Amino acid sequence: METTKDKGDKGEDIACSFLIENGYKIVDRNWHFGKYEVDIIAENKEYIVFTEVKFRSGNYFGEPEIFVSQKQKSNLIRVANFYIDRKNIDKEARFDIIAIVMNNEKFSINHIEDAFKPDVNQD
């Protein structure tokens, strides 16, 4: 039986393949800062891209991207700030969501570039 982690890994594999096919370089996966994590860190010529992957086996309850909470966004921003500082990144950061819906063995991908911006009042 496929576990939630197996499904998450499958979604991230699909997302990584999609990003590579679209000219991105995968820099890190499942990068942790304390209890926080970013699914995929990729880059292109312009941006370092922090990506949240949402994988669902259907969209009966809504599209996967609507399940990225404000708290998840805030945590992703915290991780990104630490990552940029620690790795001395000089590219502009962007926050993307890749939403994947699997139906049988077929899937659809919605890559939402610049899905949200850091709040200037972010802690």
Spell out the SS3 assignment of 101-123: EEECCEEEEEEEEEEECCCCCCC
Q: How far is CA 80 from CA 35, 48, 66, in A?
A: 13, 9, 21
pLDDT of residue 42: 98
Q: What is the mean pLDDT of residues 20-46?
A: 95
Q: Does pLDDT of 122 surpass 50?
A: no
CATH of domain 4-116: 3.40.1350.10
- Locate the domains of the chain by residue range: 4-116
pLDDT of residue 59: 58
pLDDT digits (tens, 9 = 90+) for 39-79: 999 999 999 999 999 887 655 565 656 667 889 999 999 99
pLDDT of residue 60: 54
Helix residue ranges, H only, 47-103: 70-87
pTM of the entire structure?
0.87
Tokens of 22: 């679209």
